[in-house]
Structure 1
Amino acid sequence: MPLTPLDIHNKEFGRRMRGYDEDEVNEFLDQIIKDYEALIRENKEMQNEMSILKEKIEHFSIMEETLSKTIIVAQEAADEVKNNAKKEAQLIVKEAEKNADRIINESLSKSRKIALEMEELKKQASIYRTRFRALLEAQLEMLKDEGWESLENITVPD
């Protein structure tokens, strides 16, 4: 067990002839007591400070661990959001491609239908023109007929 300042203070040395000067020894022991008490106080202060620093280190270690876990969770969440965004973007692109294909197919279908209708209208216009020409030619032939000239010579009684 270590010495205490009280142990040093209470220590008695045996006396002999031609021994050490008692006052000098007592002064030296008093100085040792003061220094020893100062060292004990300093040691206790350092132990207290060390205890506080250990608590702070433990606190910061816990914070570091928590932050590390938080960063990992945030990274995982960011990765998940990124993956979901990619999937959603792919779905949007696929939907847009489907809509584009549908619109193109509808446009082609309408274009073909209009082309067919146009061809039909051209045929009908050609048939109408041919019939109209035949009708006009028949009417012209009727006008050239001699029966009309006989009508011109008829006199109407007054």
Structure 2
Amino acid sequence: MPLTPLDIHNKEFGKRLRGYDEDEVNEFLDQIIKDFEMYIRENKELQNQVAALQERLDHFANIEETLSKTIIVAQEAADELRNNSKKEAQLIIKEAEKNADRIINESLSKSRKIALEIEELKKQASIYRTRFRTLVEAQLELLSGDQWDSLETREAERE
């Protein structure tokens, strides 16, 4: 058990012949008591400071742990958001490609249809031209034929 200032104060020494000067010993013990009490107070203050610093250290350790967990959660959220964004972008690209393919297919189909219509119109124009030429040739033949001359002579005879 550690020595206390009260133990020092109450300590009684036996008396002997040719012993130490009692007043000097008492003064020295008083000085020891004062110094011992001062060391005890300083020790208590230091223990209080250590406890306060330990409490602050624990507080900062908790803050550090919380921040670390928060950073991890934020990183995980950012990773998840990045992955979701990539997936969404891929879906948008696929949808755009489907729409582009559909538009291209529709355009090709319309182009083929228009090309067929143009060919049909060319055929009809050729047929019309041929029929018109045939009609004009028939009319020219009719005009240059003998029947026309006979009509002219009949009409001249009537007059």
TM-score by length of 2: 0.89
In 2, the alpha carbon distance for the partners of 1:155 and 1:86 equals 101
Which deviates more, 114-123 or 144-153? Answer: 144-153
Deviations 1:31-62 (A, max 9, x none): 21111011100110011111112211221222
Once the two structures are TM-superposed, the CA of residue 132 in structure 1 deviates from its matched residue by: 0.7
Deviations 1:109-134 (A, max 9, x none): 11111111111111111101101111
Look up the equivalent residue of 1:32 and give its one-letter code. Answer: I
How many residue pairs match? The answer is 157
Once the two structures are TM-superposed, the CA of residue 86 in structure 1 deviates from its matched residue by: 1.0
Aligned-pair identity in percent equals: 76
Once the two structures are TM-superposed, the CA of residue 14 in structure 1 deviates from its matched residue by: 1.8
Look up the equivalent residue of 1:133 and give its one-letter code. Answer: R
Which deviates more, 1-10 or 132-141? Answer: 1-10
Look up the equivalent residue of 1:151 and give its one-letter code. Answer: E
CA RMSD of aligned residues (A): 1.9
In 1, the alpha carbon distance for the partners of 2:115 and 2:24 equals 131
Look up the equivalent residue of 1:34 and give its one-letter code. Answer: K
Is residue 141 from structure 1 mapped to residue 141 from structure 2 by the alignment? Answer: yes
Alpha-carbon distance change, 156 to 43 in structure 1, aligned in 2, over 3 angstroms: farther
Once the two structures are TM-superposed, the CA of residue 155 in structure 1 deviates from its matched residue by: 8.4
Look up the equivalent residue of 2:64 and give its one-letter code. Answer: E
Look up the equivalent residue of 2:108 and give its one-letter code. Answer: L
Correspondence for 1:90 = 90
Unaligned runs of 5+ in 1: none
Which deviates more, 80-89 or 146-155? Answer: 146-155
Look up the equivalent residue of 1:58 and give its one-letter code. Answer: D
2:121 is paired with a residue of what secondary structure? helix
Correspondence for 2:44 = 44
Once the two structures are TM-superposed, the CA of residue 156 in structure 1 deviates from its matched residue by: 8.8
TM-score by length of 1: 0.89
Correspondence for 2:33 = 33
Unaligned runs of 5+ in 2: none
Correspondence for 2:20 = 20
1:17 is paired with a residue of what secondary structure? coil
Look up the equivalent residue of 1:125 and give its one-letter code. Answer: A
Deviations 1:82-130 (A, max 9, x none): 1111110110111011011111111111111111111111111110110
Alpha-carbon distance change, 151 to 11 in structure 1, aligned in 2, over 3 angstroms: same
Correspondence for 2:10 = 10
Correspondence for 2:129 = 129
